[in-house]
Amino acid sequence: MDKLEDMSSVYDFDPITGNIPATKVEITVSLCVLYTQGVETKQWREFGRTEVIDNTLNPDFVRKYILDYFFEEKQNLRQMFCTLGEIVGSPASRLEKPLGGITGKKCGTIILTAEELSNCRDSATMQFCANKLDKKDFFGKSDPFMVFYRSNEDGTFTICHKTEVVKNTLNPVWQPFTIPVRALCNGDYDRTIKVEVYDWDRDGSHDFIGDFTTSYRELARGQSQFNVYEVSNLQVLFHSPVTLLSFSVESEFTFLDYIKGGTQINFTVAIDFTASNGNPSQSTSLHYMNPYQLNAYAMALKAVGEIIQDYDSDKMFPALGFGAKLPPDGRVSHEFPLNGNMENPYCNGIEGILEAYHQSLKTVQLYGPTNFAPVVNHVARYAAAVQDGSQYFVLLIITDGVISDMAQTKEAIVNAAKLPMSIIIVGVGQAEFDAMVELDGDDIRISSRGKLAERDIVQFVPFRDYMDRTGNHVLSMARLAKDVLAEIPDQFISYMKSRGIKPNPAPPPYTPPGHTHHHTQI
């Protein structure tokens, strides 16, 4: 029988969907109560409290908090106010801040450290075979493949791996495959893992052969009598064995290992100043400067920038514009600094970029065409100069989408894919974004003049998909940032891995002065 309700997920395999945290981090805090803020409700919830230590001005709390860490989300924590990204992005993932409380009064400092939990960095490699599978095709045999599902907290299942199809056999031996343990079971060794076996059909109506369940803990026993599973299908009272042939676990470096070791994210912004955006003084313009509300450019910039800035220690961001005529001579530029200073294009924080953006709107003339290649090549030149893993470049392009130099842009992206660099494109306005979807390369890896991009480095989202009709921009912008940033840690790791770059050792753990407490980790 066909399991039609499951088929869409069998096709649209996307390992990113279904909120897998990038990792789990352990936070050691020197304060009594830790609060986390709900993204949706904005309400502060007590997450937990440390024990109280009497009679000391330098308390050293032993209690630790375990939080799921999402690179792409702004995870607010407080006693003193900070984000989880801020702690993680600080040198050695150790953040020191003054304690608030009474205005004008020094209340001491608080020190937070974040430590990644080890099972999140593991990847499991396993291989399966099956015997005497049910014969589904009228002529010939079956073309079997397996689909793995992780179970979620709420009892639902999320697809996490699909094997290749082995053609024309009832006794398939699938290739070994490797999967992060957090994708397989979210780091929870006893969680159910569901496996379905299908017979592949050319027309897409794959036939369900049967299924079985297991868990990481069971699989980790390796090849043994315990790892022979009955693939059963109640509809046809059929079962046959699937055998685990091998299983191994390897620990891999994670995004946080590199950040702790000092790798900096260089975040560059590029804004589309072409005439198709409309005259900024008119309310129909995508660049309209409304004193009461940010326009789409400013909103997208703020949403993504506020998360990325946690990983950039000096918070100075180069910001570029493209597609405008510049004063005094009216020459068209496709890579001009928003602050007007080519030698020093840096803006101070996200506010600084917004200020320079508004200033530019008053001085340049929106023109065209919409060329992406110059800004991509601009950032790539800097990325090419630092290939030792000490920096990773993220270029955010915000555009109304009618791209004019597709061939040059593809060439630039194929070249940039060799560099420590990722590109985020946010499309604003109502244009058709076909070209952007092509650049995104999620379905077909992009190529130029016969050369395939080495990695997928482009993530595209249309801004309009995130506009909330009820006007709840906080929530919709959090979703936008989440979607454009979700792939960055994996793209980052794919670069470091391909170049054999290991993270620097983190600086030694901090020891508070004059401290003897043996739990010293703050």
Ligand X SMILES: *[C@@H]1O[C@H](CO)[C@@H](O)[C@H](O)[C@H]1NC(C)=O
Interface with ligand X includes 420 (CB under 6 A)?
no
Of 170-209, binders to ligand X (CB under 6 A) are none
Per-residue tokens: 17? 């969907």
Interface with ligand X includes 318 (CB under 6 A)?
yes
Interface with ligand X includes 429 (CB under 6 A)?
no
Cα dist. 53→57, 58, 61, 72, 403 in Å? 9, 9, 8, 35, 61
State residue 76 phi and psi, 5-degree precision.
-75, 135
Report the distance separating Cα 162 and Cα 177, nearest Å: 10
Per-residue tokens: 495? 């670069």
Interface with ligand X includes 339 (CB under 6 A)?
no
Report the distance separating Cα 494 and Cα 180, nearest Å: 13
Interface with ligand X includes 89 (CB under 6 A)?
no
Q: Cβ 460 to ligand X, closest distance in Å?
A: 19
Residue 10 CA, chain-centre distance (Å), reads: 22
Interface with ligand X includes 268 (CB under 6 A)?
yes
Interface with ligand X includes 382 (CB under 6 A)?
yes
CB 495 within 8 A of CB 255: no
Of 233-262, binders to ligand X (CB under 6 A) are none
DSSP string, 176-230: PEEEEHHHHHTT-TTSEEEEEEEE--TTS-PEEEEEEEEEHHHHTT-SSGGGEEE
CB 272 within 8 A of CB 151: no
Q: Which residue is nearest to ligand X (CB)?
A: 268
CB 65 within 8 A of CB 51: no
Please identify, among the stretches 11-19, 226-234, 323-331, 378-386, the one whose residues bind ligand X according to the rule CB under 6 A.
Answer: 378-386
Please identify, among the stretches 377-385, 399-407, 487-495, 504-512, the one whose residues bind ligand X according to the rule CB under 6 A.
Answer: 377-385
Q: For the packed helices 406-416 and 373-385, what is the interaxial angle rounded to 10 degrees?
A: 20
Q: Cβ 270 to ligand X, closest distance in Å?
A: 9
Selected from 29, 84, 147, 379, the binder of ligand X by CB under 6 A is 379
Q: Cβ 485 to ligand X, closest distance in Å?
A: 18
Q: Is 171 helix (H, G, I), strand (E, B) or coil?
A: coil
Please identify, among the stretches 204-212, 291-299, 356-364, 375-383, the one whose residues bind ligand X according to the rule CB under 6 A.
Answer: 375-383
- Residue (214 or 264) nearer to ligand X, CB: 264
**Which single residue is written with the structure tokens 């739990």?**
519
Q: Cβ 97 to ligand X, closest distance in Å?
A: 24
Q: Cβ 380 to ligand X, closest distance in Å?
A: 9
- Residue (31 or 419) nearer to ligand X, CB: 419
- Residue (343 or 443) nearer to ligand X, CB: 343
Stretch 17-46: interaction string toward ligand X, x if CB under 6 A = ------------------------------
Q: Is 316 helix (H, G, I), strand (E, B) or coil?
A: strand
Smallest CA-to-CA distance from 450 within 407, 420, 421 is with 407
Of 385-404, binders to ligand X (CB under 6 A) are 391
Residues engaged in binding ligand X (CB under 6 A): 266, 268, 318, 345, 378-379, 382, 391
